[in-house]
């Protein structure tokens, strides 16, 4: 690796193989910065993000590590130290707790314990002026002051605990010249958090979809496996127009056929005074 590459600003983004993390990685990467795309298991997605960044002229690499695995995260930071010598920005985007089969303590491990551990591992590599960005949700950041979906309460509580733990490290961060930025946003349609919440409550999803299909003819059916099926159609006027068009076309065809059947046509050749003749159709 050349000296110029070692001098690039290095940015580690956790959970960057999809969603907001992937978008942040794509936006931050350029010729002056090297983005490290951390992921847990979505290797192909992470590779696609890295390739897209490189194809656009940026610098990127991937780093696979389960953030709840202390050994894996230690190896990841050892690799960063060996390859880049420093870490300028740490974006703590990864979170969890809604996955099916996750044990009750998983949310706290990933959203609180792992976040604090990552910061402690990153500190020795971060120069003065470095920055740590903690990405959270309004439901977690304003916990107790805003409504929270029932299934999201454990996640919100664990993310709030993670934010509090990082804020408690303020004196240590300040002594090292490191700033902490907390970014809070509302849930975004299409992100993994929203999809997981929807999967946990299909009836709520059906109600939401029905409200969005207001004005449509719709039928909601509950399947034996508790899945909800919604059928919807719209457009009385359009269907009426289609019927009128097809009947008009049918009438036209009948008229042409009747004309051919009951009518007649012929050609008359007229020659006058031995001159050139002409043909007339009738």
Residue 235 confidence (pLDDT) above 70: no
Residue 253 CA, distance from chain mean position: 52
66-116 tens-digit pLDDT: 999 999 999 999 999 999 999 999 999 998 887 777 888 999 999 999 999
Please give the pLDDT value at position 2: 42
With H, G, I as helix, E, B as strand and everything else as coil, classify residue 174.
helix
Q: Count the neighbouring beta carbons within 10 Å of the beta carbon of residue 92.
A: 29
pLDDT, tens digit, for every residue of 191-205?
555 555 555 556 655
How far, rounded to the nearest angstrom, does the alpha carbon of residue 50 sit from its chain's CA centroid?
17
Percent of the chain scoring above 70 in pLDDT:
77
Q: Which range (45-59, 114-128, 247-261) has the least confidence?
A: 247-261
In the prediction, which pLDDT does 99 show?
A: 77
For the 3-200 domain, the top CATH level (class) is alpha beta
Give the Cβ contact number of residue 74 at 10 Å: 13
- Pair of tokens at residue 211: 């409200």
**Residues 34, 26: Cα–Cα separation, whole Å:** 11
Q: Among the listed ranges 88-97, 111-120, 139-148, 224-233, which one has the minimum average pLDDT value?
A: 224-233
Residue span(s) of the chain under CATH 3.40.50.720 come to 3-200
Strand 228-233, strand 217-222: pairing = antiparallel
């Amino acid at each position: 690796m050349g000296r110029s590459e070692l001098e690039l600003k290095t940015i580690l983004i956790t959970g960057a193989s999809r969603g907001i993390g992937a978008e942040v990685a794509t936006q931050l990467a350029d010729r002056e910065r090297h983005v490290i795309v951390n992921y847990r298991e979505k290797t192909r997605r992470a590779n696609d993000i890295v390739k897209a960044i490189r194809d656009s002229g940026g610098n990127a690499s991937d780093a696979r590590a389960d953030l709840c695995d202390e050994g894996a995260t230690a190896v990841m930071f050892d690799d960063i130290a060996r390859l880049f010598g420093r870490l300028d920005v740490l974006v703590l985007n990864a979170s969890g707790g809604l996955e099916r089969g996750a044990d009750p303590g998983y949310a706290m491990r990933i959203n609180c314990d792992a976040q604090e551990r990552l910061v402690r591992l990153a500190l020795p590599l971060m120069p003065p002026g470095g920055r740590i960005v903690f990405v959270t949700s309004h439901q977690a950041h304003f916990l107790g002051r805003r409504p929270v979906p029932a299934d999201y309460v454990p996640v919100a509580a664990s993310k709030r605990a993670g934010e509090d733990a990082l804020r408690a490290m303020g004196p240590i961060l300040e002594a090292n010249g490191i700033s902490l930025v907390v970014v809070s946003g509302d849930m975004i349609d299409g992100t993994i958090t929203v999809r997981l919440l929807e999967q946990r409550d299909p009836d709520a999803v059906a109600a939401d979809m029905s409200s969005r299909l207001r004005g449509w003819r719709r039928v909601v059916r509950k399947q034996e496996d508790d899945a909800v099926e919604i059928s919807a159609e719209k457009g009385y006027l359009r269907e009426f127009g289609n019927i009128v068009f097809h009947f008009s076309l049918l009438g036209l065809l009948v008229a042409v056929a009747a004309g051919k059947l009951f009518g007649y046509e012929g050609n008359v050749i007229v020659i006058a005074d031995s001159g050139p003749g002409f043909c007339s159709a009738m």
